[in-house]
Amino acid sequence: MELNELLRGLNPEQRDAVTTIDGPVLVLAGAGTGKTRVITVRMAYMLATGIPPERILGMTFTNKAAREMRERLAQLVPGGGADKVTLGTFHSFCVRILRREISALNYLGNFTIADDSDQQGLVKQAIAQCGYGKDDISVSAVAAYISTQKNQLRFPGDAANAARNNFEASCAAVYRQYQELLELQNSVDFDDLLLLTYKIFSEFPEILAKYQERYRYLLIDEYQDTNDVQFEIVRMLCDKHHNLCVVGDDDQSIYSWRGANIRNILDFPSLYPGTKAVKLEQNYRSTNTILQAANAVIGGGGERFGKQLWSDNGKGEPLLLVKTDDGECEADFIAGYINQMMTENPSLKPGDFAVLYRSNHLSRQLEISFRNLGVPYRLVGGQEFYQRKEIKDAAAYLKVLVNLRDNQSLLRILPLPPRGLAEKAVNLLKENSGAGHSMRQILNSDAVAGKLPPKGAAAARELAAVMDKYTTEFETPGNLAAKVTGYLRESGYLDGLQAIYRDLEDARKRRENVDEFINAIAQYEMKSSEPATLAGFLENFALLEENDRTEEPQNPDGCVTLSTIHAAKGLEYPVVFLMALEDNVFPHERAVEEGNLDEELRLFYVAITRAKRKLIITAAMRRMQRGVFRNQRASRFLLRLPEELYEVANSDELIKRLEGDDLTRAFENIFNLLK
């Protein structure tokens, strides 16, 4: 394809980004500004100008993105060497390097890549070899620690030197042993793919020089999401020819909890002198009203490159801010309003709608409301609420109180959290049960306790005592949520979630889901026409789980999308509902407490820019939290929206109206409306 043909249809800024080939280039690609097109046309342009395809290296973060780019590139330059361009994820590129060069580190070229299960097993083995018991140090906590250290370029010796307390010192010792075990079996883990590539490039300049010469032109997608080790690999590769083009958006940097370092993109011009910065600000996705809202929201944030998104798509409809009485009413409104919009406008299909939320646990009530109305939906980036492991575990804790002989549930909860009741204790319980005696009945028996280590015996008696206490308490109906909260806390489950799951962020999300499970119990009790019992709730839970379970949709376009904002990044929908815009929900409670709101604000920006034609933002005046209704305050982020861009309504007004003109402002500003 001729050069002019390749450039046809590009706006001036896109053209600039495509044709500036030599030297460092920073492409600041705002949401919906045609980033993927720019990247693929840029590679096609390079090939058309005579750059050999073997000299081009493109890296992104997902296999899906890499496949899409390769397909588009092949269409642009059929038979022009597109298949010879190295294009893939960071990890796939590093595997390619290690297969050829890992012998420099005394590995064999036929190394295997340890999966999550392999890693957990090796960590467990390393813990034992370091002399720690299973309850002294958590496998998941150590695994998370090791991953963090590797992504921060720390080898075992570096980690030991950086240890700030006894826990980190213990983790560092296990890290050293774990790495030795990996090397003994000629294996690497997922993080090693990056770290060992960095090590080879750092310690063997002749190897680095070979790849610097081969890959003279580098293009990195989603650069704002790179971590420290990815940054260093890129820096070393381009250190000779300096032909580095990075594409990203600092306003969409939302993955610091996964190791992403926003400084990589913010500092790019100073780290690479002579950088040509190109801003892509023409948006091809949304109306100008939506973009003006996004600009206003992000404009008052922290350090950033200034961008002002605009569009040729016209002004569009005003944003709609909707208040509801509580979280249940909010979910009912969203499902009902989607149903109403599809009825009034047959051109709208379920796939045109998305409901976005800050945290996964908010999907529970939505799922119920959509099922009740028969509106098809799909969950993105997560399981249905009642299928999540922590919910199954919490339910198992309750089942053993209702059914003394539920051995399966008891076996499920004994190691959750780790308490010294490991495999030996489980085997003893199995051996001594039967003949009319359940495992729970003999949990604190002398027959079992006498054969356990003192710590395990004490743990068994303590757990049995808690179960006995709450079995008695639940014999009296009522006050279920408070009793469940007390039981899960005293049994160690609530506070033990951190020890069960891989990292602090994961444990926090699991705790939010368990809290939402307690909310479901409270709602069950409020709606029950008879005295509410734990057995009644578990019966209701089982029926919901069995009868209301949804199948994976064969046609995702025929379903409303329910998604966290994180999982929706990169996607777009004609109509977007953004729910639960309340302080301590969005922005998240932890961010408010820590005063770390910049990333939360960027997350709000990402949510707004998913909408193409219509954006509806909802907030509840009160929301159930841990089984108790609490009055809610409107999200401080809503105050950033210019008043001329939105209209306000109560949910009951909106769901009944037939004409858009009937919508009136009820309050001067959002804060007064929702406080």
**Residues with catalytic roles:** 35-36, 221-222, 252, 610
Say which residue the tokens 């790179």 belong to: 226
Amino acid at 106: N
Whether the bond between 417 and the residue before it is cis, its omega within 30 degrees of 0, is yes
Four-CA torsion 563, 566, 572, 577, nearest 10 degrees: 50
Token pair of 640, please? 């950033």
Interacting residues of 128 by C-beta distance below 8 A, sequence separation 6+: none
C-alpha distances out from residue 296 to 188, 436, 557, 598, Å: 46, 69, 32, 14
Q: Supply angle C-alpha 137, 113, 222, rounded to 5.
A: 90
**Chain centroid to CA 133:** 32
C-alpha distances out from residue 480 to 390, 412, 518, 542, Å: 19, 22, 9, 17
| Rounded Cα–Cα distance for residues 487 and 493 (Å) | 9
Enter the DSSP assignment of 170. H
DSSP H helical segments within 493-626, as ranges?
Answer: 493-500, 504-527, 534-547, 565-568, 589-594, 598-608
Burial of 344 per CB tally in 10 Å (0-12, 13-18, 19+) = exposed
Mapping DSSP onto H, E and C, the string for 515-542 reads: HHHHHHHHHHHHHCCCCCCHHHHHHHHH
Say which residue the tokens 């070899």 belong to: 129
CB 254 within 8 A of CB 569: yes
Altogether, the residues listed in the chain come to a count of 675
| Rounded Cα–Cα distance for residues 468 and 72 (Å) | 64
The bridge status of strand 319-324 relative to strand 628-631 is unpaired
| Rounded Cα–Cα distance for residues 485 and 518 (Å) | 7
CB 312 within 8 A of CB 652: no
| Rounded Cα–Cα distance for residues 490 and 32 (Å) | 50
Amino acid at 240: K
CB 395 within 8 A of CB 435: no
